[in-house]
Homo-oligomer: A and B are copies of this chain.
Amino acid sequence: MILVSNDDGIYAKGVHALTDVMTVLGEVVTVCPAAPQSGKSMAITSDTPLRIIQTDDYNGAKMYKVNGTPVDCVKIAMHTILPRIPDLVVSGINHGSNASVNAVYSGTVGAAFEGCAFGIPSIAFSIADYSPDACFSHCLPFVKAITETVLGKGLPDGMALNVNFPKTLADNACMRVTKGCKGRWTDEYREYTDPNGKKFYWLTGRFVNEEPDNTDTDEWCLANGIVSIVPVALDRTVHLQKDYFYNH
Contacts and interface: CB of A to CB of B under 8 A. Distances in A.
Interface of A: 36, 38-47, 49-52, 69, 71-72, 75-76, 78-80, 101, 103-105, 109-110, 113, 117-119, 146, 149, 152-153, 155-156, 158-159, 162, 175, 177, 179-180, 182, 184-185, 187-189, 191-192, 198-203, 229-239, 241-242, 244-246, 248
A248 B246 CA distance: 42
A21 B209 CA distance: 36
A70 to B, nearest CB: 10
A50 B231 contact: no
Contacts of A43: 39-41, 43, 69, 105
Contact of A113 (B104, B177, B187): B104
A235 B180 contact: yes
**Majority DSSP secondary structure for residues of A touching B:** mixed
B80 A191 contact: yes
B237 A232 contact: yes
B200 A248 contact: no
B188 A75 contact: yes
B42 A188 contact: no
Nearest to A203: B46
A118 B210 CA distance: 12
